[in-house]
Amino acid sequence: MSKVIVLRYGTNPQQAPARVFMKDDSELPISILNGSPGYINLLDALNSWQLVRELKAALDLPAAASFKHVSPAGVAVATPLSETLKKAYFVDDLELSPLATAYARARGSDRLCSFGDFVALSDTVDVPTAKLIAREVSDGIIAPAYESAALEILKAKKQGKYAVVQIDPTYEPASVQEMRDVFGIRFEQRRHDRLVTPADFTNIVTAKKDLPPSAIRDLTLAWITIKYTQSNSVCFISDGQAIGVGAGQQSRIHCVRLAGQKADLWWLRQHPTVLDLPFKPGIKRPDRDNAIDQFLRDDVTPNEKSAWTEIFAHTPRQLTLDEKQQWLSKLDSVTLGSDAFFPFRDSIDRAAASGVRYVLEPGGSARDDTVVQAANEYGMTMIFSGVRLFHH
């Protein structure tokens, strides 16, 4: 541990000098075990660490997050992976520990957005998890501890420049107040230390009231995920992992559309035709991800399609709109979490198209009755938590 970590620069190269330190001049709770993390890396690290720490405490399962630009691209806990998901996540050739399973899920949620991620893990990093991370394009990792062999695997990544951060798992900020400076003006507020509780899921406002244990797990995951996602934010959750995150949008419906599009893409990646795409030997994982994204788009350009000759052994037939809709109709039992209320029913209408059956939002809109009516029409279970979760 040290008192100061000097950074190459701040958010951008022209923002130098830059450093991190404790305002009371005590030692930092983080150590840099390898590499040289930057300003944004450490913002990702500290936000994502809080997320996985809270998930582990709430659900008692290993948790993982894949962060990009201070929002999660993917979040998950260690629930078992089907053979289909193993193939879709490119991990069917690996032996996965529970922690590795959590990261495979988090990384697999949105593989395009996870490219170059910062990884957060709730538990000691083991060899299976390190081996998985070693073959993905990633900028760094934060965890409470590392097995010695796992640390050596990670140190070899990126020609030895991979950022490895260790955090004291017992660390808590000395003050409940936090401050930041914006344009020379100091802001101060209470740190957002409100934790999820079972009472957050008791105010069910729809006719349908069922909440099986799997839904409680996914509601908890949604609550904690959006707490650390840049507002406005919405997330779609399925089987212990985020499958779509809409972050930083000015409109609630745009959050839902973005998250819904990502959830749809996650589901379509599991279509048998996609799983059997004829990739040429040696095609790298990011190139496969980009090709799959193009393959599933309706607006792929002729130039993009012509490049497939370098990727595929033969040009595959794209799925028709009807084939996609038929497959998407099978997506079900999805949980939707929102960091603030829905002002219109349009978000519920869009959510229904991606299999949402459980909805968590604070409530408090002048149109709550219209939103609840929409949820009732789709047979959803809707909870008003009463807790707004803006994060900036």
| pLDDT confidence of residue 345 | 97
pLDDT in tens, 362-378: 999 999 999 999 999 99
Indicate the helix (H) or strand (E) that contains 103: helix 98-109
What percent of the chain shows pLDDT beyond 70?
Answer: 100
Which residue is associated with the tokens 């996965």? 96
Confidence category of residue 1, pLDDT binned at 50, 70, 90 = confident
Rounded to whole angstroms, the Cα distance separating 155 from 34 reads 6
Give the three-state DSSP class for 163: strand
pLDDT in tens, 210-254: 999 999 999 999 999 999 999 999 999 999 999 999 999 999 999
- Where b means 16+ CB within 10 Å and e means fewer, 86-125 reads bbbbbbeebebbbbbbbbbbbbbbbbebbbebbbbbbbeb
pLDDT in tens, 72-95: 999 999 999 999 999 999 999 999
Rounded to whole angstroms, the Cα distance separating 120 from 9 reads 22
Q: Which are the contacts of 7, defined by CB distance < 8 A and separation ≥ 6? A: 17, 18, 19, 20, 36, 37, 38, 39, 42
Average per-residue pLDDT in the chain? Answer: 96
| pLDDT confidence of residue 347 | 97
- Where b means 16+ CB within 10 Å and e means fewer, 356-367 reads bbbbbbbbebee
Rounded to whole angstroms, the Cα distance separating 147 from 144 reads 11
- Across the chain, which distance is largest between two alpha carbons, in Å? 62
The residue type found at 133 is I
Confidence category of residue 283, pLDDT binned at 50, 70, 90 = very high
By annotation, the residues acting in catalysis are: 68-69, 232, 392
Average pLDDT value for residue range 11-15: 95
pLDDT in tens, 151-202: 999 999 999 999 999 999 999 999 999 999 999 999 999 999 999 999 999 9
Closest CA to 215 of 231, 189, 235, 238: 238
Which residue is associated with the tokens 């209408």? 349
| Ramachandran bin of 70, using left for φ above 0, alpha for ψ from -120 to 50, beta for the remaining angles | left
How many C-beta neighbours within 10 Å does residue 6 have?
11
Overall pTM surpassing 0.75 (yes/no): yes
